[in-house]
């Protein structure tokens, strides 16, 4: 039996009562791993660099193993930019290469820069017009029910590239699910953890990391999913929130 395990933590009460988002996590695990996973999530929420949570919700739900989809990990490229300004320029260029209209790419970036504090999920933005499409305000769309198909294999894959940290690991899994979504053209993301300045642009072409997309110390991060005009938004949100996905890493020669 497989279970979806999700955590969300906030400060000043629950998110839905106006609490400030501190941390979230989503995993898929077998019964034998649930206790350790819940402990790990609690520890993360209580010791987060965004502040101490006073509301923590952990949800465990069985998922139907027959309904699980497998999607491939995206190829990873690190683009060595010297600073935040160069990182944002390069990210916009990458969004355009992935098929986002130039003005829409800039509007998506501006939408992230205009946030006063972090959202819990992602904005849906039209890849053609740059208009925000979802009406979910600060909640946004939270992608859930995804994990690595082979956690140890993903660790080995990341270690060989010097990238084995939780931010990269979770972002690669999320980006693989999102890039495989019906109607998603590309994603732009940077972390809301004040000490983590890196972000990425992902699409079916790959995952492009930029070491600087925001200044050190900023607690404002977020995600934009650029979607094709005419995309079925209800079907997209259903897939992002509910479709169980396991992300498979390519098999590699051992070194």
Give the span between the Cα atoms of 223 and 14, in whole angstroms: 21
Mind giving me the DSSP string for 140-152?
-B---SEEESSHH
Give the span between the Cα atoms of 137 and 151, in whole angstroms: 33
Strand partners, 184: 227
Q: Measured from the CB atom, is 100 or 181 closer to ligand WAQ?
A: 181
Beta strands in 120-218 (DSSP E): 122-126, 146-148, 184-190, 199-203, 206-210
User: Is the four-CA dihedral 35, 41, 44, 46 of positive or negative sign?
Assistant: negative
Tell me how many residues contact Mg ion (CB under 5 A).
Answer: 5
Structure tokens given for 174: 């999320």
Q: Which helix (H) or strand (E) holds 194?
A: none
Chain-centroid distance, C-alpha 20: 18
Q: Measured from the CB atom, is 147 or 192 closer to Mg ion?
A: 192
Structure tokens given for 158: 């990341």
Strand partners, 78: 209
- The distance of closest approach from Cβ of residue 241 to ligand WAQ in the complex, given in angstroms and rounded to an integer, is 9
> Of 22-30, 66-74, 123-131, 148-156, which part binds Mg ion (CB under 5 A)?
22-30
Does 26 sit near Mg ion (CB under 5 A)?
Answer: no
* Contact of residue 123 among Mg ion, ligand WAQ, none (CB under 5-8 Å per partner type): none
Does 23 sit near Mg ion (CB under 5 A)?
Answer: yes
- The distance of closest approach from Cβ of residue 225 to ligand WAQ in the complex, given in angstroms and rounded to an integer, is 8
- The distance of closest approach from Cβ of residue 196 to Mg ion in the complex, given in angstroms and rounded to an integer, is 7
- The distance of closest approach from Cβ of residue 114 to ligand WAQ in the complex, given in angstroms and rounded to an integer, is 13
- The distance of closest approach from Cβ of residue 161 to ligand WAQ in the complex, given in angstroms and rounded to an integer, is 10
Does 150 sit near Mg ion (CB under 5 A)?
Answer: no
Does 193 sit near Mg ion (CB under 5 A)?
Answer: yes
Q: Which residues bind ligand WAQ (CB under 6 A)?
A: 24, 26, 118-122, 140, 142-143, 167-168, 171, 174, 189, 191-193, 196, 198-200, 209, 221-223
Q: Which helix (H) or strand (E) holds 60?
A: strand 55-63
- The distance of closest approach from Cβ of residue 93 to Mg ion in the complex, given in angstroms and rounded to an integer, is 25
Q: Measured from the CB atom, is 183 or 221 closer to ligand WAQ?
A: 221
> Of 76-84, 121-129, 130-138, 187-195, which part binds Mg ion (CB under 5 A)?
187-195
Among residues 229, 217, 224, 170, the alpha carbon closest in space to that of 192 is found at: 217
Task: Note the residues at the interface with Mg ion (CB under 5 A).
Answer: 23-24, 170, 192-193
């Amino acid at each position: 039996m497989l279970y979806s395990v999700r955590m969300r933590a906030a400060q000043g009460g629950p998110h839905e009562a106006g609490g400030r988002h501190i941390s979230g996590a989503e995993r898929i695990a077998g019964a034998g791993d649930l206790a350790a996973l819940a402990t790990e999530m609690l520890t993360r929420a209580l010791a987060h660099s965004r502040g101490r949570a006073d509301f923590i919700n952990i949800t465990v739900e069985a998922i139907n193993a027959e309904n699980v989809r497998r999607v491939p990990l995206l190829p990873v490229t690190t683009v060595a930019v010297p600073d935040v300004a160069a990182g944002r320029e390069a990210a916009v260029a990458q969004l355009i290469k992935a098929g986002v209209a130039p003005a829409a790419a800039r509007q998506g970036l501006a939408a992230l820069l205009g946030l006063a504090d972090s959202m819990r999920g992602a904005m849906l933005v039209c890849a053609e017009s740059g208009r925000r499409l979802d009406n979910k305000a600060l909640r946004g769309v939270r992608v859930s029910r995804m994990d690595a198909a082979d956690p140890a294999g993903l660790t080995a894959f990341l270690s060989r590239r010097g990238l084995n940290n939780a931010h990269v690991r979770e972002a690669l899994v999320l980006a693989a699910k999102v890039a495989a979504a019906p109607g998603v053209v590309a994603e732009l993301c940077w972390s809301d953890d004040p000490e983590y300045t890196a972000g990425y642009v992902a699409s079916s072409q790959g995952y492009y990391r930029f070491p600087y997309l925001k200044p050190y110390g900023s607690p404002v991060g977020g995600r934009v999913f650029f979607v094709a005009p005419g995309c079925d938004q209800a079907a997209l949100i259903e897939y992002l929130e509910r479709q169980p996905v396991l992300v498979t890493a390519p098999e590699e020669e051992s070194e």
